[in-house]
Each structure stands twice: as C-alpha cells, then as structure tokens.
Amino acid sequence: MKQPEVRVFEDKNQLSLAGAELVCRSANSAAGERGAFTLLLAGGGTPRALYELLAGESFSGRMPWSATVLFWGDERFVPPEHPESNFRAARLAMIARAPLPPENVHPVPTADYPDAPSAALAYDSTLREYFRKSENTIKTSTGNFPRFDLVLLGMGADGHTASLFPGSSALREDSRLAVAVDAPRGYRTAERVSVTLPVLSGAATVLFMVTGSEKRPALSAVLGDPGQARRKYPAAMVRPHSGRLIWYLDREADVT
C-alpha cells in the first residue's frame, strides 16, 4: 500500500474547497476514461459543506453529473426523510440541487425493508449488480469487490469510519459488501447499515476528511503508528490495495 498523503487546512471551509476540487478532478478523470464516476458518500457532518460546494456555482458546471453514480458508505436505519438520515443530508445539500439522473442515486433502501439486516442484504445485491455490469472491480484473495473511483470517509473520535466501530464483528467481514451493525451505546440511531472494509479498501482513491480537536487522539494513532492502530481503530484498517489514501485535516485535528 502506498504511503498516505496528508494535507492540513486552516479551517473546515478550506478543507471542503480542496475536497470539492479533488472530487471534481476525480469525476472528470473517471468519466473521461470510462464514462462513469462512482462515488461513495460519507455520512456525518463534516462532508456536508463539500456536498453543498459541489452543487454550488463554483463546481456544479464542472461536474459530469450525468456520469456520476452515488452510493452511501453507511446509513442509519431510519426513513429517508428522518433528520438522522445520511441520504437526507446529501439530498438537501447536493442531490436536490444537481442535475443527477435519479437512476444514478443508490441510497440504502431503509424505507423498503422491515429491518437493517434485510436492507443490508438488498444493498449488498445493489452494489454487486452495479459493479458486475460495470466490470469495474478489484480481485482479492476473498473475492471480487467494487472498485469505487472515490470513497469519501469521516472518522469518529473513537476511530470508527462509515458505521464500522471498534471491536465490531463487521470488521472481520471479508466477503459481504454491506452488513447490518449496531452502533455502540451513546450513538444516536443504533441500527445501521455499513459497507465493509473490502469495499472501502478496493477504492482507487480514499479521502478521509477529519476536523476538530476531539479527533486528535485517534488520529495520532492512525497516522502515527498505523501498524499498531490497525488492531483497534477501524479508520486504520482502510488500506487501498492499489489506490491512494488521502487525509484532509483541519488545523484543530492536525497531529502531524
């Protein structure tokens, strides 16, 4: 695996601008090469400013929206219009404002299934079907996995990413693409669906966006001693097989 690329920005706004620029460049490169750009969206609060920028006047005209295909790295098992929904956050910030073909938007189907396990099974099939057709996959010792052009991720103060939390059995999943997980006590919306580590590590490029001083302890371990951190922090377990691993930090989170 290549060395991670780390950039530190003065504040969240500068980080989001740089993130939007990276998304735009990746999108045009992928769309130019293959006619499609597959983007895995991060949940949580950090990426919202980036989503708003992409659909705003500085970037929207540069984005190949008709070739852009969206999936989610994780979702809380709530209706799509619930305040906790990652789909709702991206819809309000970006999807409702961009000329994206509806068939290119693949949220976790939380409204169509009675529970997270059945929604996870359905999402697993959606991912397999899309990437089987696109033939944009990466072969590993445990199977063929989607090769997302770009995966956006955040990191919690406990080192979780997507909805892969420390100590979760989901971290050992090496064949399924999406699983149901329970967030630890104290997290809003315990029932979740998350893509698995093989999906995250299959990407051509992974961009972590991390802001805030509360992330420093976990970040110090993940960037300072990745070998050791991989035993505990899910964010350290994301290791692109043949892709780029990029960390965008704001000054408050900076541990470099």
Which parts of this chain interact with ligand 6PG (CB under 6 A)? 42-46, 73-74, 86, 154-156, 160-163
The residue among 74 and 254 lying less far from ligand 6PG, judged by its C-beta, is 74
Looking at the Cβ atoms of 156 and 240, the one nearer to ligand 6PG is 156
Residues 6+ apart with CB under 8 A from 122: 109, 112, 113
Minimum Å distance from CB 165 to ligand 6PG?
9
Q: Give whichever of 31 and 198 is closer to ligand 6PG, judged by the CB atom.
A: 198
E-strand ranges in 161-218 read: 178-182, 191-195, 205-210
CA 163 – CA 180 distance, rounded (Å)? 9
The gap between the terminal CA atoms of the chain, to the nearest Å, is: 20
Closer to ligand 6PG by CB, 36 or 162: give it: 162
CB nearer to ligand 6PG: pick between 44 and 202: 44
To the nearest whole angstrom, how small is the minimum distance from the Cβ of residue 99 to ligand 6PG? 26
To the nearest whole angstrom, how small is the minimum distance from the Cβ of residue 31 to ligand 6PG? Answer: 25
**Separation in Å, CA 131 to CA 69, 91, 197, 236:** 11, 23, 16, 25
Q: What is the largest CA-CA distance in the chain?
A: 45
Angle at 161 between CA 155 and CA 167, to 5 degrees: 115
Sheet-wide strand order for 150-153: 5-9, 244-250, 205-210, 150-153, 37-41, 68-72, 105-106
CB of 127 to ligand 6PG, least distance (A): 16
Short-list 36, 34, 95, 47, CA closest to 69 = 36
Q: How far is the CB of 34 from ligand 6PG (least distance, A)?
A: 27
Taking CB atoms, the residue at the shortest distance from ligand 6PG is 154
Query: Which C-beta is closer to ligand 6PG: that of 136 or that of 163?
Result: 163
In this structure, the number of other CB atoms found within 10 A of the CB of residue 227 comes to: 7
Q: Give Cα 27 to chain centroid, integer Å.
A: 15
Nearest approach, Cβ of residue 38 and ligand 6PG (Å): 18
Nearer to ligand 6PG, 64 or 166 (CB): 166
State the minimum distance, in angstroms, from the CB of residue 154 to ligand 6PG: 2
